[in-house]
Every structure is written in structure tokens, then in C-alpha cells.
Amino acid sequence: MKILLTGAGGQLGRVLAQPLKQMGELTAPGRDALDLADGKALKDALEAIQPTLIVNAAAYTDVDRAETETRQAYLVNAAAPEIMARWAATRGVPLLHVSTDYVYSGAGDAPHDEGEAPAPLNAYGASKLAGDEAIAQSGAPYLILRTSWLYDATGRNFLTSILHAARTREELRVVDDQVGAPTPSALVAAVAMEILQAGDPRETFATSGGVVHAAAAGEASRHEFARAIVDGLRKRGCDFAAQRVVPVSSAEAPAAAKRPLNSRLSLARLSERFGIEPPDWRAALKPVLDAVARAEKKPAP
């Protein structure tokens, strides 16, 4: 099997590269080798590599900057997946793509299910939705895993932002009206690998429903998540400047992009179609905090 993995330098791509290498011959070009915003370069790369499986873990993920760099967001999140999907469709090559809770409006407080009509609130969500729709219409054998609030011990994410703020500030102000499931990238990678290894991906994808949510179980506000990070690291012996994590509303913490208040994702399809029951977000957080605490306590070289 010849596998093309995009975004191998990102949070999710990093953890997918190793197990994908065990599955077949892996090509994982970084942005310097393959700029996904360059459609011609992407088509040439597909022709040169001739993958028999495509895993697209790349994305333009800066939610606030996407409001002004909208063209770039669409090139990476919509045009590139469309090119991959069209190429895959003509050859019957399976495409595993990753998408986001930000395609939903965030209205109400029930978990979104995969059949719900998306209604993104910001340019990032709209660009990701355009990618999802292009893939669904391409005729390629595809699976779209929609996840939420992705984080890891390193990289640019909510956990590392809180960690950085906790080192330098006494008071952290974190929104408590956005609710979702904080999800380590290793969890999504494990779900993706279990599905890819379940049999011929073309057959597995055909019975998947097309879009499947893959996130940790349970729910938390951003504020609860921040508290769990700071308290959990303190319990592990880390010393911080932060004394208080204060809840604020989204209105009190304005950002360039509007965020959905309800990012809950129903995990029923993941359970019904694949028998996968992800752990609760607090349990999933523990090994990541262990890794962060180990790195924090390591003496500087």
C-alpha cells in the first residue's frame, strides 16, 4: 500500500505518521516539499506518488486569522481536499479526511449528530465545510472524521496556550460558555488507525455513513478544561505563576472569529458502526498532562 499523509508536521499528522508507516510505504511531504495551496503542485505530487490511500491531516487551522486570510484558508481547507478527492475518485483510491465541530452552528445544547445541516459561524468553519462537501460530491471512497478541540503536549493548541499563560500570569480569564470535548490528537489517530485496519478501507468507508464524529466522551467548558490543565499540572509538581482561573463569557473575551457555544459531538455513529467508545475527556487528558509535567520538570540544558 502506498500512503500519502499530508500535514505530518501538525498535531494530528505527527501521531499518525508512525502507525501509517507500519501499514505501508509512507510519503509525508511537509509544506516545504508540497504547498497544498498550490493546486498544480498537489496534482503533480499525486501523479508522482500514485498513492493507494490518502490521509489528509493538513489544514489551515488559525481560526482568527482565517477571517482575514480567507483565501488561503479556502485553498488549503477546500480546494486541496477537492483536488485530492477528484484524483482519488477517478482511481478508486480511499481518502481519509479530518474535519471539525466548527462546521456546526453551535445552537442549542444537544450533541450535534452527523446528519445535522452544518451552519458554520466563521470563515475557518466555512472553508472546512466546503472541503467536506467537495469530498462528499467527488465520488471517491471517503471517510471524514470530525473532531473537536484538538490538543497535544506540544504544538500550538489550547493546552499549550494555557500552559504558557499559567507560567507568566497570576490570573487567567477563560470563557465558560463554550462547551465541547477536549480531544488529544492521539485519540483521533487511534480511531483513524482502528478504522483503517478494520479491512479494505474502500469497503469500510462505504458503510461508515461518510461523516463520523471522533472525539473524547463527556463535555467541558473551556474554563473547566483550563482548570483541569492547571490543577492537573500543579498536582504533578509543576509550579506556576497562575493563582486563579476566572470564568468569563465569550462576550467578555472578544476574538476576530465567532466560535460556536455548543461544540458537543454525538459519538453514537462511531459506536454503532465501528464499536469504538472513546474515553472521557478527563481520562484522555491524563497521559498528556504526564508528558507535559515530565517536560516541565526536565532541567534546562
Site string for ligand NAP, 172-211 (x = CB under 6 A): -------------x--------------------------
According to the binding rule CB under 6 A, does residue 128 interact with ligand NAP?
yes
Q: Which DSSP string corresponds to 122-171?
A: SHHHHHHHHHHHHHHHH-S-EEEEEE-SEE-SSSSSHHHHHHHHHHH-SE
- Residue 55: strand, helix, or coil: strand
User: Within 10 A of 250 (CB to CB), how many other CB atoms are there?
Assistant: 16
Active site residue 74: no
- Minimum CB–partner distance for residue 251 and ligand NAP (Å): 22
Q: Which DSSP string corresponds to 246-259?
A: EEE-GGGS--SS--
Site string for ligand NAP, 71-100 (x = CB under 6 A): -----x---------------------x-x
Instruction: Let me know the angle formed at the C-alpha of 88 by 83 and 89, rounded to the nearest 5 degrees.
Output: 100
Considering only residues 12-71, where is the footprint of ligand NAP by CB under 6 A?
12-13, 31, 35-37, 57-61
Site string for ligand NAP, 257-276 (x = CB under 6 A): --------------------
- Minimum CB–partner distance for residue 62 and ligand NAP (Å): 8
- Residue 3: strand, helix, or coil: strand
Backbone angles phi, psi at 160, to 5 degrees: -70, -30
Residues that bind ligand NAP (CB under 6 A): 7, 9-13, 31, 35-37, 57-61, 76, 98, 100-101, 128, 147-150, 155, 157, 185
